[in-house]
């Protein structure tokens, strides 16, 4: 044979030997520990009994318990703004003044017109008294046939005319008094006050909308007044959770502004409908705010407890595994060093813990490596777990 032929034969042999080696060992290398039946290294933790809570977590916004807009009742120029954003105000406090020159003049004019009307009454009263005496004298003279019937009629007509004139003068006085009161009321409107009926007697200026010198029309907003002694957290609850909320339920509120504090609230109002667009219902939570720490507009997280189970059997959530469409856990036997698959019914899941409702289980549960296990699979424990398991088993038996 020549050198080329020998080289080809050697290469073919190498390929055949390599293929046989690959075919011989590849199945075993591709087998998982589960398929090979070898022991699987796992980690375990004790199944414990504790209180577990199902908590719904929602996000929302804080609103003031009460908020209203201050606006003038009349048109005028804003002469002076007496408060600013954040100022504390009392019930009935004057917060702004309008230019009152025109309204003072109207009051003075109304007073003068009232004085004239009252003077007219006095003048007419004297004339009325004189006409009344003339009429009485004419009646007496007519009885004595001294004056004619026509003279008596003329005297009576004059008396009646003066009586009517006096009534007109009295009506004019009443009219001028009303005009004076109206002018005084309009003058009072130049002093813009903050007034409310219910709630805390002390409130705050939330916003200011205008500056001094602005020409204001009637009902132009100049400031908003808010009560923050109590706040209202507004959240929206999805359809699944809607049946689980009720008025009077406690709520725990937290905010990024105070990460180390929580605030208590009570569900006060629940909307009787869900918005069609979002399938969510509005829920309002009343929150006492005696220190005025919370402010309207803050973003909040609200926790509402839906259920609480005492003495619940719990395992780490990552211990759960799915087998044939059912939840299960692997309970480790440290004597036989095997793990038994136990199908379970899961209850409340809170954070990284899950409640086991059925069946009653105890002992040690596999938390790492369970996805490589089959029922009654052999397991290997870390050395430190081997040392701890006897004591843990004794404690579990005592419990």
pLDDT tens-digit profile of 228-260? 999 999 999 999 999 999 999 999 999 999 999
Q: Look at residue 124 in the predicted model and tell me its pLDDT.
A: 76
Q: In sequence order, what are the beta bridge partners of 208?
A: 223
Dist. CA 246–CA 266, nearest whole Å: 10
Q: Are 44 and 381 in contact (CB under 8 A)?
A: yes
Q: Look at residue 133 in the predicted model and tell me its pLDDT.
A: 73
pTM of the complete model: 0.66
Domains of the chain: 35-52+310-398 (2.40.420.20), 100-189 (1.10.287.470)
Q: Look at residue 146 in the predicted model and tell me its pLDDT.
A: 67
Q: Are 232 and 242 in contact (CB under 8 A)?
A: no
Task: With cut-offs at 50, 70 and 90, classify the pLDDT of residue 398.
Answer: very low
pLDDT at 85 exceeding the cut of 50: yes
- The 10s digit of each residue's pLDDT in 269-290 is 999 999 999 999 999 999 999 9
Q: Where are the alpha helices (DSSP H) in the chain?
A: 3-30, 33-36, 101-143, 149-188, 383-398
Dist. CA 323–CA 343, nearest whole Å: 8
- The 10s digit of each residue's pLDDT in 137-190 is 766 666 666 666 676 667 767 767 777 777 877 888 888 889 999 999 999 999
- The 10s digit of each residue's pLDDT in 296-309 is 999 999 999 998 99
pLDDT at 264 exceeding the cut of 60: yes
pLDDT at 29 exceeding the cut of 50: no
Dist. CA 63–CA 295, nearest whole Å: 8
- The 10s digit of each residue's pLDDT in 328-371 is 999 998 888 999 999 999 999 988 999 999 999 999 999 998 88
Tokens for 144, please give them.
């004595």
Cα-to-chain-centroid distance, residue 327: 39
Q: Are 208 and 228 in contact (CB under 8 A)?
A: no
């Amino acid at each position: 044979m020549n050198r080329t032929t020998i080289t080809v034969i050697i290469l073919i042999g190498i390929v055949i030997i390599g293929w046989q080696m690959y075919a011989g060992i590849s199945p075993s290398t591709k087998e998982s520990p589960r398929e090979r039946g070898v022991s699987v290294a796992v980690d375990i933790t004790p199944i414990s009994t504790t209180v577990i809570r199902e908590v719904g977590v929602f996000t929302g916004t804080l609103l003031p318990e009460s908020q209203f807009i201050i606006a003038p009742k009349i048109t005028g120029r804003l002469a002076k703004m007496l408060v600013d954003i954040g100022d504390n105000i009392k019930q009935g406090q004057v917060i702004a003044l309008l230019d009152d020159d025109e309204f003072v003049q109207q009051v003075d004019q109304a007073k003068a017109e009232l004085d004239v009307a009252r003077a007219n009454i006095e003048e007419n009263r004297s004339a009325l008294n004189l006409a009344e005496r003339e009429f009485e004298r004419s009646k007496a003279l007519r009885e004595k046939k001294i004056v004619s019937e026509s003279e008596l009629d003329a005297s009576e007509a004059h008396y009646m005319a003066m009586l009517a004139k006096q009534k007109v003068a009295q009506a004019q006085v009443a009219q001028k008094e009303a005009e004076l009161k109206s002018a005084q009321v309009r003058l009072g409107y130049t002093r813009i006050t903050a007034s409310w009926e219910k709630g805390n007697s002390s409130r705050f200026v939330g916003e200011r909308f205008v500056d001094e010198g602005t020409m204001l029309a009637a009902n132009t907003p100049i400031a908003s007044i808010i009560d923050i002694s109590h706040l209202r957290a507004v959240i929206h609850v999805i359809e699944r959770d809607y049946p689980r909320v009720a008025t009077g339920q406690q709520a725990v509120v937290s905010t990024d502004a105070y990460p180390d504090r929580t605030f208590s609230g009570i569900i006060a109002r629940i909307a009787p409908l869900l918005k069609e667009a979002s399938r969510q219902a509005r829920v309002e939570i009343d929150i006492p705010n005696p220190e005025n720490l919370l402010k309207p507009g803050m973003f909040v997280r609200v926790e509402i407890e839906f259920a609480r189970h005492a003495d619940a059997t719990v395992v780490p959530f990552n211990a759960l595994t799915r087998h044939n469409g059912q939840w299960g856990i692997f309970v480790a036997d440290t004597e036989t060093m095997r793990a038994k698959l136990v199908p379970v019914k899961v209850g409340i899941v809170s954070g990284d813990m899950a409640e086991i409702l059925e069946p009653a289980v105890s002992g040690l549960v596999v938390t790492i490596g369970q996805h490589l296990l089959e029922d009654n699979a052999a397991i290997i424990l870390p050395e430190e777990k081997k040392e701890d398991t006897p004591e843990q088993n004794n404690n579990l038996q005592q419990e």
